[in-house]
Chains A and B, each alone.
Chain A
Amino acid sequence: MKIYILILMCLPLLVAAQTPAERGLEIAIEADQYDTGFGDSSSQMMMTLKNANGDISVRKMTSKTLEVNGDGDKGLTVFKEPADIKGTAFLSFTHVLDADDQWLYLPALKRVKRISSKNKSGPFMGSEFAFEDLSSREVPKYTYEFLREESVAGEECYVLETKPNYKHSGYTRSIVWISKKILQPIKVDYYDRKNSLLKTMTASEFNQYLGQYWRPHQMLMVNHQTKKETRLDFSNYEFKTGLTDRSFNKSSLKRAR
């Protein structure tokens, strides 16, 4: 205990040479490196949308991700419910700073449409999650500032302020609580273009996969301005399932299930 206090007392001295920006970047890089090397992953997602009156509607989808070194990840999302959009699929090649490449497959017409990716700030499937909230978090996408250390729900966290470097974001800034233990964001406050608090995301029920990669099984997004909520429940996480670039092209989009 005494040693612990001693270290804590020395900590400010050790980090005194760093500016808050350097410290913030350092934490972001550490978190990113800890999550590097998962290769590919897939999971089932259930999205529960709740409006201010408490009305609920549910979406189900499967999601596949391919890690791309030196750029944003590739993603393929296939919708299962509601039934009218079953088979509709969304392919994205995310990029660090450039606009993402996005395609939508409409099964009734058998048509693949390349779509504009300017909709980063737009809602994903009518939910409180924006496209940019679900996009891969690459280090150069943001500038960072270390604010403080703080515990959230009994978990020790680094608190960072991040500002997007990419175009068309719906946010001026976010406050991110990164768990020291698992190096994953467990809470994010999003501030809108007028710098008012817009939404809070909390991630919970983390499991560790392949002895390294932590993933939440639940993410809750609360919109403070509209009082709407969206809960995302993840299940059947799988890693290193052998997905390649070939699993993420227009041909695979057309037959994705």
Chain B
Amino acid sequence: MYLGLNKLSLFSVFSLGFLLCCESALAVDWSGYVAAEYRSFPQSALDEEQFNHSNLSFSFEPELYHEWNDGDDSLTFVPFVRWDEHDPKRSHFDVRELVWLHVEDDWELRVGIDKVFWGVTESQHLVDVINQTDLVENLDGEQKLGQAMVALSLIKDWGTLDLYVLPSFRERTFPGKEGRFRSLPEIDDHVFYESSAKDRHVDYALRWSQMFDDWDVGISHFYGTSREPRIIPKVTPAGLVLTPFYDMINQTGIDVQATLDEWLWKVELIHRSGQGETFNAFTGGFEYTFVGVMDSVADFGVIAEYLYDDRGTDAATPFDNDVFVGGRLAMNDVASSEVLFGVVADVNKGTRFYSVEASRRFGDSWILSLEGRFISNVSSSDSLSSLRHDDVIQLELARHF
């Protein structure tokens, strides 16, 4: 695992060096950000090996872009690096993108490492299955690891068909022994695969998407190594460990959004087999926007979604029968001030998971963001139970260039 990562890192450093030294000759477009993050934990950790109080972390994500053939060919390179004060597992490097894109009139080809997003809902992303989650980055799972791929998009009158060959697999990142937001005990370094090819299994995916007037529809299928592992408890001489097990799965997904004036109606549905019992999961709801609230230029959106997984309480996900209610305030001001807040409540167990995210710009290039996550009323049977002392307030200051 580490060998693979090191090779990748080495390759990336060389690529970066190559691109930098050729910058003058090749007209490379260079942008990105550097950020400092401070996290404060009001409660002491459940496990004495986890750090307490606060944590400092720095991250850097440059982007180098070069195009030729009048923009029909381009090369994008986005490395990412984070240093973390307490958790060595969170100090990590990744190639988010290193991709050659070729564009023709009705098709596009991507070769390299890239990120792909599928889906429409806000509270979770069921159908989004191409990239592995970079879980050490943020509990919300929105950050993804780069995925090696050959992707062909056919853009036709009957819709867009995306075909993917995914020649290697990335393990999910988990916080280390010293880190917060982790299971008890922590997830072990040793991983297990159903496929004998392990992380070299070639996965395949396709997605058809089309717009029908006010409706945007996508249907997708994925065959390969599940990005979401099953967590298997194992007894070793050192005691109980939790090991990730990556099954071979087939997953069919449907995502639909209807945009009807100020109403956005959203549904995501998946059917997955190969990971224990075959199951279905659903996320669906609406976002309603009040434009120009209280005679201002601000918009306020109300979001409500229902999250369901028919494995019930056996589900690996905490969101088996949950309701998400939230709001999004966009000030539409010069500083692009925004606030997003919400709560996911478990209908059966009563666990509530609150989150708030706010951000604004200072000057031309500084973004200050605040995040808070709080858990309450958590039952011991809930998979979020190990996070019950991990309430957090996070401040991040990023400089974009």
Binding site for B on A (CB under 8 A): 49, 51, 57-58, 81-87, 99, 101, 109-112, 114-119, 121-123, 126, 168, 170, 244, 246, 249-251, 255, 257
Contacts and interface: CB of A to CB of B under 8 A. Distances in A.
A118 B262 contact: yes
A230 to B, nearest CB: 10
B399 to A, nearest CB: 9
Interface string B102-135: 0101101000000111001000000000000000
Contacts, number: 97
A250 B118 CA distance: 12
Nearest to B122: A113
Contacts of B116: 110
Given A82-B364, A99-B261, A118-B289, A251 B153 contact: yes
Contacts of B43: none
B381 interface: no
B378 interface: no
Nearest to B110: A255
A109 B142 contact: yes
A118 B291 contact: yes
B209 to A, nearest CB: 8
A209 B259 CA distance: 37
A116 B367 contact: no
Given A84-B336, A115-B259, 4 more contacts: A83-B33, A110-B116, A126-B333, A250-B160
A84 B33 contact: yes
15 contacts: A84-B336, A84-B398, A112-B117, A114-B216, A114-B259, A117-B259, A118-B261, A118-B262, A122-B291, A122-B292, A126-B335, A170-B292, A244-B105, A257-B29, A257-B67
Contacts of B262: 116, 118
B257 interface: yes
Contacts of B29: 257
Given A82-B400, A84-B367, A111-B117, A255 B289 contact: no
Given A58-B364, A83-B364, A119 B299 contact: yes
B155 A51 contact: no
B291 A119 contact: yes
B105 A255 contact: no
B108 A255 contact: yes
A121 B257 CA distance: 24
Contacts of A170: 292
Interface in B340-366: 361, 364-365
Q: Which of A87, A111, A246, A257 has the most chain B CB atoms inside 10 A of its CB?
A: A111
Nearest to A107: B63
B264 A114 contact: yes
Interface string B12-53: 000000000000000001010100000000000000000000
A83 B333 contact: no
B278 interface: no
A249 B155 contact: yes
A246 B157 CA distance: 10
A109 B117 contact: yes
Nearest to A244: B105
Contacts of B103: 255
A147 B71 CA distance: 49
B105 A246 contact: yes
B297 interface: yes
B30 to A, nearest CB: 11
A69 to B, nearest CB: 18
A126 B364 contact: no
Contact of A116 (B120, B289, B335): B289
B329 interface: no
Contacts of B398: 84
B116 to A, nearest CB: 6
A257 B335 CA distance: 23
A83 B31 contact: yes
Given A99-B261, A119-B299, A246 B106 contact: yes
Contact of A81 (B216, B261, B292, B364): B364
A200 B106 CA distance: 43
Contacts of B289: 116, 118-119
Given A84-B398, A118-B261, A246-B155, A257 B71 contact: yes
Contact of B400 (A84, A101, A119): A84
A82 B71 contact: no
A114 B364 contact: no
A229 B332 CA distance: 15
Contacts of B214: 101
B101 interface: yes
Nearest to A246: B105
B292 A83 contact: no
Contacts of A99: 261
A87 B32 CA distance: 11
A203 to B, nearest CB: 23
User: Nearest 6 CB-CB pairs, A to B?
Assistant: A83-B400, A84-B400, A110-B117, A126-B334, A111-B117, A118-B262
B68 interface: no
B401 interface: yes
A85 B336 contact: yes
Contacts of A118: 261-262, 289, 291
A255 B333 CA distance: 27
Contacts of B335: 126
B197 to A, nearest CB: 27
Nearest to B76: A255
Contacts of A121: 291-292
Contacts of A87: 31
B390 to A, nearest CB: 24
A246 B160 CA distance: 11
